[in-house]
Structure 1
Amino acid sequence: MSRFLVSGLALVAALAVASCAGAPASTASVTQSPVVSAVATQADRPDPVILISIDGFRPDYLGRGATPVMDGLVAGGAFGPMRPSFPSVTFPNHYTLVTGLHPDHHGIVGNRFTDAELGVFTMASKESGFWDQAEPIWVSAEKAGVRTGTMFWPGSEVEIHGVRPSRWEPFDQSMSGDARVDRILSWLDLPADQRPRFETLYFDIVDSAGHRHGPDAAETRAAVASVDASIGRLVEGLKARGLYDRTLLVLVSDHGMAATSPDRVVWIDDIIDPAALQIGYGGAVLTADPAPGREAEVQQKLVGRHPHMECWNKADVPARLVYGSNPRVARIVCLVETGWLTATRDRPVTRPGGAHGYDNQAPAMQALFIAHGPGVIPGRRLTDLDSVDVQPFLARMLGVTAPQGDGRAEDTLPVTTQ
C-alpha cells in the first residue's frame, strides 16, 4: 500500500457498493464516485469521537438477532468488512488501528516476540521502547491539544514519545462491560477543560468466548449480545447528556474468528524435532527461530510447503502480507491454513474452539467497521476497507495532524462532503 499523509485540511470519501454476509437487511446500498471535500469547521466536528473495539467480532455476527443496537448503528451509519493486518492477532492489529501502520512498520509484530535490546515482549509488557516505533492517535491528539481518554486499549498504559492519554486505565479483565462504559461516560462529565474529545473503549468477551467455544457457539452469541447491550448503555448515556447527536461512534474489531478442531492439527513433531526451534508464537500462525546449531536442519525440513501450512524465511514472506522486514519478526514465518492449528505432541489440541492469526484475507478473519454520527452518510456500504485506514479517518474527524501511515486516500471512508 502507498503511504498516505494525513491532513486536517481535507476529508476523503471513496465510496463503493458491496454485499457483506450477515449485514442487516435494512442497510441501504449506495454507489458514488470518490470525492474530496473541505473539512468541517471546528464547530461542526464531532465531539466526542469514541473508538470502540470488540475483540474477535466477525462482521457476520450482525443481523442474527443478538445485536439490535449495533444493527441500528449500521442502518443509520456506514458499515463494511475490514481487512486486518497479518498476523491477525490482537496486539498487532489494535496498534495498527490507532497508528495507521502494518505491524511490520509499527513494531508490535505479534502478541509475543523478541527485541534484540529489550528482550521478550508479551501482552503484559509495559516498556515504552516496545511501542515507540509509531505514534498512536491519542498521542497525536494530545500533542495537538486534544484531550483523550483510553479504556484498556493495547499500548495506552505506556508513555509513548513522552506522552500519555489524559485519562487511562490499566487493563482489568474482570471489569464488566457496563462498568467500562460508565467509566468513559464519567470522563464526559468532567469540566470542559478536562473532558476528553477522543475516547477509546475495549471489550474482550467475544474473543474469549470464540476461543473457548468457537464462533458459532451459543456462548459466543451470548457474549455478542452482552457487548451489544453495553453499547446500548453507552448510547443511552450519551443521550442523557445531550451528546448523542454530536458523537461520532466508530466500532471496529481487530480480527475475526475461525472454528478449530482436534481433527485439524499440523503436528510440528511430524515435520521437525521441536527442539530444533525456538517458537515465538504458535497455533494459528507459527513464528520461530532456529535453535543454535540447527539452522541447516530448519532450512531443510521446515522451510517450504507442508500439508495445511507453508513456511518462509522472513525475507521471502509474500509481499501482500506486509511482514518480514522488521528486525523483531522471527527468522521463520509459517502461514497456517484457516481452521487448522500447529501443535506439538506434548501440548496437543484436545477440544474444538476458535482461533485467529491466519491469512488476513481469509473471510473468517475479516474485522468489523461501523461509523455512526456527524460526518457519516447513513446507509453506506463499504468495500476494500483496510485496518490501516482507521487512523487517518480518526485524525481527520478530530482535526489533528498525524504521522504518515500505510492507509490510502482512495480507500473507502464514510464521511460526508461537508
Structure 2
Amino acid sequence: MKKKLHIKTNKSFIKNICLCFMLGYFGMATAQSSTKPYVVMVSLDGFRWDFVKHFNLPKLTNIAQAGVQAKSMKPSYPTKTFPNHYAIVTGLYPDHHGIINNSFYDPQLEKIFSLSSDAKTDPQFYGGNPIWNVAEQQGVKTASFYWPGSDTGKKSPSIYKKYDDKVPYAVRIDTVIDWLNLPENERPHLIMLYFDEPDHTGHNFGPLSLENKKMVTKMDSVIGVLTNKLDALPIGKKINLIVVSDHGMADINDTKKVAILDYLKPNWVGYQQVINPIMSLEAKAGYKDSIAQALTKVPHIKFWAAKDLPRRLHYGSNPRVLDFVVEAKKNYSLVTNMSQIIKGGTHGYDNNNKDMHAIFFAKGPNFRIGKKIGTFQNVSVYPLIAHILGLQIEKVDGDFKEVNQMLRKE
C-alpha cells in the first residue's frame, strides 16, 4: 500500500518566491517597454508638397538629410482636413472610415457632422480603428494634442486635448516634451501633434503669397524648435519624428466661380452644402434624372452619381456621400451665389491634382538616412507606424509595401 506523501508548506517561502517572480516579471516588462521605440507624428495643416522648393526651409531640409523625404504624399479623396487626418491614423479611405468631408449629412443617423458643432467629437461618426486605439489595446500608451478624431472620448488616447486654437504653439511643444519626461510606466510611446497652419494663411492669401511664405517659414522654425527639444531628451535617440500634412492648396480667385445651386430647383434636392470646391447632393425622390440633366449644363465642373465615381478615388459607396458628388474644375470655386467673394486658396480637388499633394518627412532610429522616396498614398502611414511600434493590425487600405523602403533593415 502506497504511503501518502505529506509536504509541509512554508508560507513565507512561497510568498518570497512569488514576490521574486513578480519583481522579475515586471522588471522584464519595464525593460521591454524601455526598448520599444517612440513615434512623434506632427501635422502641418495645408502644407503643400512643393513649399520646400519655393521657400527656404532649413529645418525640414535637415530632417530630410538626417532621415527620409517623400517626393510627395498623396492625400485621400476628397482632399479636405478631417477626412485626411483620419485616413492617416486609420489606414482607411474616407469612404471606409466614414468622415467623408469636413461637413456631411448621415441619412441613417439623420444627423449632420460639422467642425463647428459638438458632432465633431461624437464617436458615432467615426469608424475604423485609429492607430492610438490599436496601440492602447496592445499595451502601448498614447497621447494626442489636437489630432482630428482623437477627442471623441471613446476611441481616444490615454492623454488627449479638446481642441482650442488659442493655445500657443510653444505650449503645445512643451506639453509634448513634458509627456516624454513622464516616468516610463506613464510615458506615451506614440504622440500625435497638430498645427493649424499654414492652412489658414493659405486660404486667406493663396499658397505662394508673401503672407503664406512668412507663415510656411514660421512653421519650419516651429518644427526646428520641436526637433531640438526632442533630440535633447534622455530618450532622444529612441524617438522617430514624422512630419506630415493632410493636403496641399491651390490658387483661386473671383473670376473663376460657379453658383452651382442656380442650376437646380429647390424642390429637387434634399441635403446640399457647398464645401468649396466640392459638395454632395441628396436627390429627393423622383428627381435624380432632373439633377443629372441639369448638372450636364453647368460649366467648369465635373460631377458623378455616387455609384459612378472613378474607382481610383475610393469614394461613393458610403451612404453619407449621398446621390451626387460635384467638384469644381482646377482653380475654380463652387459658391452658393455669385455675390460671394472668392480669393486666396482652397483644397478638396481631385487627389491627382499635384497642388493637393502633401508632405512626408521622417527621421529617427528606425528610418534610413538621406533616403528619398517617391509619392505614396497617405493611408500607408498607418501600417508604417504599426510596424515601428510592433503592433498587430487588421487589414486596411494602406499598404506597408509602399513605405517599407524608408526603414532601416532590422
TM-score band (shorter)? 0.7 to 0.9
Does residue 146 (structure 1) correspond to residue 140 (structure 2)? The answer is: yes
The 8 Å contact of residues 101 and 407 in structure 1, kept in 2 or not, is answered as: yes
Residue 417 of structure 1: CA displacement?
A: 1.3
The 8 Å contact of residues 145 and 160 in structure 2, kept in 1 or not, is answered as: yes
- Which whole-Å CA distance do the structure 2 matches of 1:45 and 1:78 have between them? 23
Larger Rg: 1 or 2?
2
Secondary structure at 1:93 match in 2: helix
Letter in 2 for 1:363: K
Secondary structure at 1:59 match in 2: coil
The 8 Å contact of residues 99 and 391 in structure 1, kept in 2 or not, is answered as: yes
- Which whole-Å CA distance do the structure 2 matches of 1:292 and 1:345 have between them? 25
Q: Counterpart of 2:57?
A: 67
Does residue 57 (structure 1) correspond to residue 57 (structure 2)? The answer is: no
Question: Of 298, 301, 314, which aligns to 1:322?
Answer: 314
Secondary structure at 2:279 match in 1: strand
Letter in 2 for 1:173: D
Residue 201 of structure 1: CA displacement?
A: 0.5
Q: Counterpart of 2:279?
A: 286
Residue 53 of structure 1: CA displacement?
A: 0.6
Residue 104 of structure 1: CA displacement?
A: 0.6
Secondary structure at 2:216 match in 1: helix
Gaps of 5+ in 1: 1-40
The 8 Å contact of residues 44 and 245 in structure 2, kept in 1 or not, is answered as: yes
Letter in 1 for 2:330: T
The 8 Å contact of residues 260 and 334 in structure 2, kept in 1 or not, is answered as: yes
Structure 1 pair 183–43 and aligned structure 2 pair: CA distance change class (3 A): closer
- Which whole-Å CA distance do the structure 2 matches of 1:222 and 1:45 have between them? 40
Does residue 155 (structure 1) correspond to residue 149 (structure 2)? The answer is: yes
Question: Of 403, 407, 414, which aligns to 2:398?
Answer: 407
Secondary structure at 1:404 match in 2: coil
Q: Counterpart of 2:245?
A: 253
Q: Could you report, residue by residue, the CA deviation over 1:55-101 in whole angstroms, capped at 9, with x for unpaired residues?
A: 10012111445421111001111111011000000000001000000
Question: Of 366, 369, 389, which aligns to 1:398?
Answer: 389
- Which whole-Å CA distance do the structure 2 matches of 1:42 and 1:58 have between them? 39
Structure 1 pair 180–297 and aligned structure 2 pair: CA distance change class (3 A): same
Residue 47 of structure 1: CA displacement?
A: 3.0
Q: Counterpart of 2:368?
A: 377
Residue 159 of structure 1: CA displacement?
A: 2.9
Q: Could you report, residue by residue, the CA deviation over 1:321-377 in whole angstroms, capped at 9, with x for unpaired residues?
A: 11000111121101321211111326x442421000000111100111111111111
Letter in 1 for 2:59: V
Secondary structure at 1:323 match in 2: coil
- Aligned ranges for residues 150-229 of structure 1 at < 5 Å? 150-160=144-154, 163-229=155-221
Question: Of 335, 341, 350, which aligns to 2:341?
Answer: 350
The 8 Å contact of residues 87 and 358 in structure 1, kept in 2 or not, is answered as: yes
Secondary structure at 1:50 match in 2: strand
Residue 397 of structure 1: CA displacement?
A: 0.4
Does residue 310 (structure 1) correspond to residue 310 (structure 2)? The answer is: no
Secondary structure at 1:371 match in 2: strand
- Which whole-Å CA distance do the structure 1 matches of 2:408 and 2:162 have between them? 36
Q: Could you report, residue by residue, the CA deviation over 1:89-129 in whole angstroms, capped at 9, with x for unpaired residues?
A: 00000010000000011111111111221511112422111
Question: Of 340, 347, 367, which aligns to 2:358?
Answer: 367
TM-score calculated relative to the size of structure 1: 0.84
Does residue 129 (structure 1) correspond to residue 119 (structure 2)? The answer is: no
Q: Counterpart of 1:301?
A: 294
Number of matched residues?
373
Whichever structure has more helix as a proportion of its residues is 2
Does residue 335 (structure 1) correspond to residue 327 (structure 2)? The answer is: yes
- Which whole-Å CA distance do the structure 1 matches of 2:356 and 2:34 have between them? 36
- Which whole-Å CA distance do the structure 2 matches of 1:352 and 1:184 have between them? 36
Gaps of 5+ in 2: 1-30
Residue 281 of structure 1: CA displacement?
A: 3.8
Secondary structure at 1:149 match in 2: strand
Does residue 108 (structure 1) correspond to residue 102 (structure 2)? The answer is: no
The 8 Å contact of residues 177 and 227 in structure 1, kept in 2 or not, is answered as: no
- Which whole-Å CA distance do the structure 2 matches of 1:272 and 1:200 have between them? 43
- Which whole-Å CA distance do the structure 2 matches of 1:270 and 1:158 have between them? 38
The 8 Å contact of residues 142 and 148 in structure 1, kept in 2 or not, is answered as: yes
Residue 306 of structure 1: CA displacement?
A: 4.2
Question: Percent of counterpart pairs with the same letter?
Answer: 34
Secondary structure at 1:367 match in 2: coil
Does residue 48 (structure 1) correspond to residue 41 (structure 2)? The answer is: no
- Which whole-Å CA distance do the structure 1 matches of 2:185 and 2:100 have between them? 37
The 8 Å contact of residues 85 and 148 in structure 2, kept in 1 or not, is answered as: yes
Structure 1 pair 291–400 and aligned structure 2 pair: CA distance change class (3 A): same
Q: Counterpart of 1:38?
A: none
The 8 Å contact of residues 103 and 109 in structure 1, kept in 2 or not, is answered as: yes
Q: Counterpart of 2:25?
A: none
- Which whole-Å CA distance do the structure 1 matches of 2:35 and 2:340 have between them? 50
- Which whole-Å CA distance do the structure 1 matches of 2:324 and 2:151 have between them? 31
Q: What is the root-mean-square deviation of aligned Cα atoms in Å?
A: 2.0
- Aligned ranges for residues 263-278 of structure 1 at < 5 Å? 263-269=255-261, 271-273=263-265, 276-277=268-269, 278=271
Secondary structure at 2:321 match in 1: coil
The 8 Å contact of residues 46 and 374 in structure 1, kept in 2 or not, is answered as: no
- Which whole-Å CA distance do the structure 1 matches of 2:159 and 2:33 have between them? 24
Q: Counterpart of 1:33?
A: none
